[in-house]
Amino acid sequence: MQDNKSKINWFPGHMTKALREMEVNVKAVDVVIYVLDARAPYSCLNPKFTKILGAKPIIFVLNKADLADDSQTKLWQQYFAKTGNICITLNSTYTNSGKVIISAIHTLAQKKLNKYANKGVNITLRAMVIGVPNCGKSTLINNLCGRYKAKTGDKPSITRNTQWVKLENMIELLDTPGTLWPDFSEKTATNLAIINSVKDDIVDQGELCIDFINFALKTYKTEFLSRYDLQDEDITAVEYLEKICDRRKFLLKGEPDYERAARAVLDDFRKCRIGKITLDRYDSIVRE
């Protein structure tokens, strides 16, 4: 197995449509709920959203926080809060955990609420939910609704169309498709692929796994070695993957089955079996 790099690029046609619709719909909302995967929050920032959102107040949601490194999540929460918006850490699979977002919506729209309250009018607030594929937008919406409203799954691009969802407390949410952008850096692309925001079938799983192992050996070596009962040795990521093949009996005609091992390692990361890991390291990205 060789460590050759190939460019990751995935921008289906429905994402172009989603960006156009977002540009129109943002005018009708009071607040934007920007869902980020807490394991790679900076990589999840879509530069195409910046122009579209303008000065709209934002609730940044660091979702899947139960899978991320707590110390890194705290730093990223502080980072996004410094923008003057609200930043919340969340695991949207926990029942009713999203209620804090309702409070945040009211906080950001308080001026409008007061204006209409003085006239004796109750108004419906509208919020648009955005983010990259598979960041948990639909799961969050179902959490807020308290019932199944939006289709969910553990693969990217489950949601293909926008849909309005009514909550019981005079709030309407607009669920939008997970949206990427046409060109991103190699590091961003790799992180998005590792967290499964890019479809697995368009990515070389072996290359992706080698990238992850190299990162893990640098940043979470103890957790990685412990998961696979490996010793700390001066060997390459490919050689570590070979040892995992040996440990797990992942063989193909007597030779290491790298592809099967790569899928297993990536699945272990995504399901937090290796430990709570954050790919976007705050100190290496943010220069203050």
In which band, very low, low, confident or very high, does the pLDDT at 109 lie, cut at 50, 70 and 90? very high
Question: CA 259, CA 168: separation in Å to the nearest integer?
Answer: 47
Query: Out of 3.40.50.300, 3.30.1540.20, 2.70.98.40, 3.30.1120.10, which CATH number does the structure's domain 13-175 have?
Result: 3.40.50.300
Residue 10 pLDDT class (50, 70, 90 cuts):
low
pLDDT averaged over the chain? 89
Euclidean distance between CA atoms 243 and 74, whole angstroms: 35
Q: What is the pLDDT of residues 141-187, one digit of tens each?
A: 989 987 655 454 455 444 456 788 998 788 999 999 888 887 778 89
Q: Is 54 left (phi over 0), alpha (psi -120 to 50) or beta?
A: left
The confidence score (pLDDT) of residue 15 equals: 79
Would you place residue 7 in the very low, low, confident or very high pLDDT band (cuts 50, 70, 90)? Answer: low
Q: With cut-offs at 50, 70 and 90, classify the pLDDT of residue 16.
A: confident
* Phi, psi dihedrals of residue 215, rounded to the nearest 5°: -65, -45
Q: End-to-end distance of the chain based on CA atoms, in angstroms?
A: 40
Q: How many residues does the chain have?
A: 288
Q: Could you give the residue range(s) of every CATH 3.40.50.300 domain in the chain? A: 13-175
Q: Where in the chain is the domain with CATH 1.10.1580.10?
A: 204-285
Residue type, 215: F
Residue 87 is predicted with a pLDDT of 97
Distance between CA atoms of 25 and 47, rounded to whole angstroms? Answer: 18
Q: Which residues of 158-195 are buried (b: 16+ CB within 10 A; e: fewer)?
A: bbeebeebebeeebbbbbbbbbbeeebeeebbbbbbbb
Is 110 buried (19+), middle (13-18) or exposed (0-12) by CB count in 10 A? exposed
Across 10-24, 100-114, 219-233, 267-281, least confident range: 10-24
Q: Given this structure, which CATH class describes domain 204-285? A: mainly alpha
14, 38, 95, 177, 187 from 147: Cα distances, Å: 27, 24, 10, 19, 37
Burial of 44-54, coded b for 16+ CB within 10 Å and e otherwise, reads: bbbebbeebbe
Identify the pLDDT of residue 152: 47
| Integer Cα distance of 153 and 201 in angstroms | 16
